[in-house]
Chain A
Amino acid sequence: MLQLKSFKPGGIHPPQQKLSAGAAITWGAVPKQLLIPVQQHIGKPCKVLVNKGDAVKRGDLLAESTGFISSNVHAPLDGKVQKIMRFPLLGGQVRDVIQLTCNDAGTPYREIVEKDYNDQPVDIDALDASEIRKKIAAAGIVGMGGAGFPTHVKLTPPDGKKIDTLLINGAECEPYITADHRLMLEYSREIIQGTRLLQRLFDGVPVFIGIEDNKPDALRAMDEAAKEADMIDVVPLKTQYPQGGEKQLIKAILGREVPSKGLPMDVGVVVQNVATVLAIRNAVYFDRPLTERVVTVSGNLVGQPGNIVLPIGTPVSTVMEQFDIDPARVRLFISGGPMMGRTSYSFESPVSKTTSALLFFDETAVVKREENPCIRCGNCINACPMGLAVARLTEMIIANGIDPAAKEAVLDCIECGSCSYVCPADRRLVHWMRLGKNIIRREN
């Protein structure tokens, strides 16, 4: 058998736990209220355009981007602005949110969304590259894989950076999460449409869609959809974490190594997540801003794990009602996957553009972690996909003496969590590395 493509060095194989892989995407009812975070991206904060008491319609601009690296926020539903306040978001940050009471509370959300796609799509052949980029920027699309970097910025490489390959990231290497998996199964045609749009932005460069081989049905569906498209290939990848890391994906598919401190465009590559590609397609074909996303709801407290379309700003508590999750039993609540996701402490926190999963666990799933002394076993170093001497670097961070050479290495950390996962002494290696990055950034 052919050796499946994968990255080097490092990598781990955590249990996949793709409990919701077989559950088709569902649509809930419109919630009573939405709490729409004003900032859902990396970059400059937005300027809020609405005031208390304003009536807004689905698709209206609520907050406007204030620079190139910034992103718009739109209203997912018709409603009235109640208040703009500070509120805990998923992931523990306390930030401004726009509280919106919805007019159509209780009606099926699917009906509202599908109305948008009844119209004739715009004539995409008439659009040139800059118009497509403009539409993407206007729609407030950010990287939906988790980082939340404004997509139009990624699609506009600076002069002198020649893009020769486009990668579509369907690896979904995190345990539990199946949102992208279901999208690739149920919206493969639309994702390929979006992919061809992106291909046009870079003058028809070859495109590779990387999917881990633990999703054979998604591989088949995408292969089928990509059949008549030119220069779009679906690449099966070895199931290995973190296959979906941008730098790892490039290494696996193209064998190119993004230089330290560099970006994918330094090796002529742009990487986009499949959910983002779908949002791009909707934005360009139907002028739909990014106002909803598919979220995996899973964990050992969820009787029937599933994937659900949620309007941005939906409070988690309404999702918990739909999935019949007892809040009193939840001990650990993660937004995103268990490897890179963030814990949250409020069930009223809203879903944002970057929320790929909501995981609920009870006491039994919690790993008690007392930090023991490092026994220099080297597991962290072998697991690190960036080839970092994690044990040595964290020692320096703890002693508060990171030497200049080590600083570069610390900043290269992608926080994938592989090192902490394999550490027999249960050291909080990723947390230390994150603290180290924070210390270095504060010094500068």
Chain B
Amino acid sequence: MKTMIRLEAASFSYDEADSSKTALDDINLEFCEGEFIGIAGHNGSGKSTLAKLLNGLLLPTKGDVTVLGMNTKNENEIKEIRRNVGMVFQNPDNQMIATIVEEDVAFGPENLGKPPYEIRDTVDESLALVGMAEYKDKRPSQLSGGQKQRIAIAGVLAMKPKCIIFDESTAMLDPQGRKELLDTMHRLNAEEGVTIIHITHYMEELITASRIIALNEGKVAFDKTPRDAFSDLSALSPLNLAAPEVVQIADGLKIAGFPIEGTALSCEELVEAIWQLKQSL
């Protein structure tokens, strides 16, 4: 697989004179094209700083970050880097700039100086991809939180990025809005091949990720598949992370003397595993 983003000995400090302000410390990571990467970690573990390093919103104070081979320190390439790596933030209201949905989505390509007919196509296509085509004439204020987040994604998609970073984009949404957003992320990943980097506190949102990277005190605590990450709960608690409830139930049953086979991640898997166990008793 082709490398999308690479971090080499990347560190970041908000104040180099003060070592307590080091947000990221000697990070080495590689994200490949087409991956769905989950990033978890407690408040202050360095997640948001990492996100901002990935498209050059922040530059590493030591080491390098390269996007498709382009170094984020290279000013001539920063525009191209940001076009390729889009970002969706926590509060969609902070990311809306126009008064009509389609104008908001058109903002990016307009700034790239694309011809109007091409912008028209791009906007329609982007809105269709997030399932919001019928809302193109609406005002953002008339939309729900989940719908607004999908408009924010359409605005990013209009730049035709290869990678989208979601920095706690589900935190403010209701259960339905979270589900809509997660479905959209997975569809973009599976059907359009967009690399997804999803930063969240909700571990149950990461059970379908290709891998989970946990940060702690500015370092990578682990980099595992969800199944491996949740097979050992004792490794999670020192990181202030909580396993999905399903995993906790399975763990509770194991402690109660009922060894559930494997690591069930979804309700369906857990029910199946309990069923199997019952048959074998």
Report if A and B associate in a common complex.
no
Interface, chain B (partner A; CB < 8 A): none
Interface, chain A (partner B; CB < 8 A): none
